[in-house]
Amino acid sequence: MRVAPGSLDRYVLTESLAGLAQAMGIISSMVLMISFVDLSRQYGGRADVGFLRLVELVLLQAPSVILLLLPFVFLFGGLSTFVALNRRSELTAMRAAGVSAWRFILPAAGMAVFIGIVDVTALNPLAAGLNGHFEDAKTAINQGFNRSGSPIWLRQGDEHTQIVIHADRHDMVGGIVRLQHVSLYLQNVTPQGGLQFSRRIDAAEALLGPGYWRLNEVRETTPGAGSVRSEVLSIPSSLDRRTAMEKFAARDSVSFWRLPHTIRRADAAGFSSAPYRLRFFQLLATPLLFAGMTVLAAAFSLRLTRLGGVAGLAAAGVTLGFVIFFFDRLCGALGAAEVVPPLVGAWAPPAAAMLAGCTLLCYTEDG
């Protein structure tokens, strides 16, 4: 019996896509349902948040959560695909025809790599943008209930000046960042790299414009001199609305294409850029993680049906998938805290998934 390589590839790809679509549908439905219930619990009693508003919030929030769970889509989709092929004895027929397990797993793994690249370069920026709109909408709803806002700290700077900004309240007015009861602490960077306090500026309000802060009702104090009052004062700013919000936003809400810029901004302002560098490396490792989950799913599905124990092996594969997921979360926490280098924290879980899958596949295929 001779198997045409192109036909085999197309068949495996078709079956794998069907399994992924099924897993994607189930996980997406669960995410949407849980998100709707959670938002209903938070805002269900608000007269200004109706059903359509809740649906809008769910659709803005859900894509980021679904992308976070995509490794499980590849794990569950791969398991369902290869277990179904095994139960129909199609894998047995392929192997009896002299086709190696590596031969029919590679198309599915290659597809996972391709989808991982699309996820990083296209889906992640889209989900990050929708998540940003979700945060804006949520902030607007909360401000409608409580106008006081909350205190924040910001920091901006370059190689010459560092500015620490504190505000008692903050909100958004027509897409413009507004701070109230603001204090700005300006420090000069010395030739030795140290910081020397130069002056303090207090203002009733600060509005973030393109490249500058516009301060109202200002009092400026310099060490060894009296204070100077003015109605309006403008000072340069290296922040815009998005980067200002990113200073206290979750790293997952920053898109792949903005991460290098955010890393440079954080370093220039004196912040630790480790969480953003970790996220950048995690996104780069996403194709390997998806391929590793696919190989892992296949490796736990190749046991001959007549020997029994296929269901147990599939359950073991799911368990190992959860272990890798939590290992990824642990490595992420350690990398963000710089306990381990961000590069190691990002690449270790995908490498572990791929190595585990390849090891088990070698044992199953070659004995």
What's the domain count of the chain? 2
The answer as to whether 76 is a domain residue is yes
Please tell me whether residues 279 and 186 are part of one structural domain.
no
> What average pLDDT is seen over the chain?
82
Q: What is the pLDDT of residue 354?
A: 92
Confidence grade of residue 361 (pLDDT, cut at 50, 70, 90): confident
pLDDT digit string, tens, across residues 203-221: 999 988 888 889 999 999 8
Q: What is the pLDDT of residue 28?
A: 94
pLDDT at 343 over 90: yes
Domain containing residue 175: CATH number: 2.60.450.10
Q: What is the pLDDT of residue 240?
A: 65
The answer as to whether 253 is a domain residue is no
Mean pLDDT to the nearest integer, 100-105: 78
Look up the domain containing 197 and give its range: 159-237
What distance in Å separates the CA atoms of residue 302 and residue 293, rounded to the nearest whole number?
Answer: 15
Q: 285 by DSSP, 3-state: which?
A: coil
Q: What is the pLDDT of residue 152?
A: 78
Please tell me whether residues 13 and 93 are part of one structural domain.
yes
pLDDT at 329 over 60: yes
pLDDT at 290 over 90: yes
Confidence grade of residue 194 (pLDDT, cut at 50, 70, 90): confident
Please tell me whether residues 44 and 70 are part of one structural domain.
yes
Please tell me whether residues 139 and 9 are part of one structural domain.
yes
Q: 234 by DSSP, 3-state: which?
A: strand
How many Cα atoms within 13 Å fall on the side-chain side of residue 57?
25
Mean pLDDT to the nearest integer, 361-366: 72
The answer as to whether 55 is a domain residue is yes
Please tell me whether residues 112 and 231 are part of one structural domain.
no
The label of the residue with tokens 């649906």 reads: 55
What residue spans of the chain are helical by DSSP H?
A: 5-43, 51-68, 70-87, 90-96, 101-118, 124-145, 241-246, 259-268, 274-284, 286-299, 310-336, 342-366
Confidence grade of residue 133 (pLDDT, cut at 50, 70, 90): confident
Provide, rounded to the nearest whole percent, the portion of the chain with pLDDT above 90.
31
The answer as to whether 335 is a domain residue is yes
Which residue, 186, 210, 237, sits at the end of a domain?
A: 237
CB-CB contact of 181 with 170 (8 Å): no
Please tell me whether residues 281 and 134 are part of one structural domain.
yes
Please tell me whether residues 288 and 348 are part of one structural domain.
yes
Please tell me whether residues 137 and 278 are part of one structural domain.
yes
In this structure, which amino acid lies at residue 99? V
The more confident residue out of 164 and 252 is 164
pLDDT digit string, tens, across residues 140-156: 776 654 444 567 778 78
pLDDT at 20 over 90: yes
Q: Which residues pair with 187 in a beta bridge?
A: 162, 197
The token duo for 62 is 């859900």
The token duo for 140 is 């607007």
The more confident residue out of 203 and 299 is 203
Q: Which residues pair with 155 in a beta bridge?
A: 164
pLDDT at 346 over 90: yes
Q: What is the pLDDT of residue 203?
A: 92
What distance in Å separates the CA atoms of residue 75 and residue 70, rounded to the nearest whole number?
Answer: 9
pLDDT digit string, tens, across residues 224-268: 777 888 889 988 887 766 566 554 455 667 889 988 888 887 776
Which residue, 208, 237, 266, sits at the end of a domain?
A: 237
The answer as to whether 178 is a domain residue is yes
What distance in Å separates the CA atoms of residue 56 and residue 36, rounded to the nearest whole number?
Answer: 10
pLDDT at 307 over 60: no
The more confident residue out of 122 and 271 is 122
What distance in Å separates the CA atoms of residue 108 and residue 302, rounded to the nearest whole number?
Answer: 14
Please tell me whether residues 231 and 297 are part of one structural domain.
no
Q: What is the pLDDT of residue 239?
A: 74
Q: Is 179 exposed, middle or buried (0-12, 13-18, 19+ CB in 10 A)?
A: buried
Confidence grade of residue 293 (pLDDT, cut at 50, 70, 90): very high
Which residue, 191, 213, 237, sits at the end of a domain?
A: 237
Q: Going by C-beta distance under 8 Å and a sequence separation of 6 or more, which residues neighbour residue 297?
A: 74, 75, 76, 77, 78, 79, 81, 82, 317, 321, 357
Please tell me whether residues 29 and 139 are part of one structural domain.
yes
Please tell me whether residues 186 and 316 are part of one structural domain.
no
The answer as to whether 150 is a domain residue is no
Q: DSSP secondary structure string, 119-159?
A: IIIIIHHHHHHHHHHHHHHHHHHHHHH-TT---EEEEEE-S
Sign of the Cα torsion 353, 359, 365, 367 reads negative
Q: Going by C-beta distance under 8 Å and a sequence separation of 6 or more, which residues neighbour residue 119?
A: 67, 70, 286, 290
Angle (nearest 5°) at CA 8 between 354 and 367: 45
What distance in Å separates the CA atoms of residue 310 and residue 304, rounded to the nearest whole number?
Answer: 8
Minimum mean pLDDT range among 29-33, 178-182, 301-305: 301-305
Highest mean pLDDT among 17-26, 43-52, 135-144, 252-261: 17-26
Please tell me whether residues 13 and 79 are part of one structural domain.
yes
Cut 0.85: pTM above it: no
Q: In the sheet where 152-157 sits, what is the strand order? A: 152-157, 161-173, 176-189, 195-209, 212-221, 227-236
The answer as to whether 319 is a domain residue is yes
The answer as to whether 268 is a domain residue is no
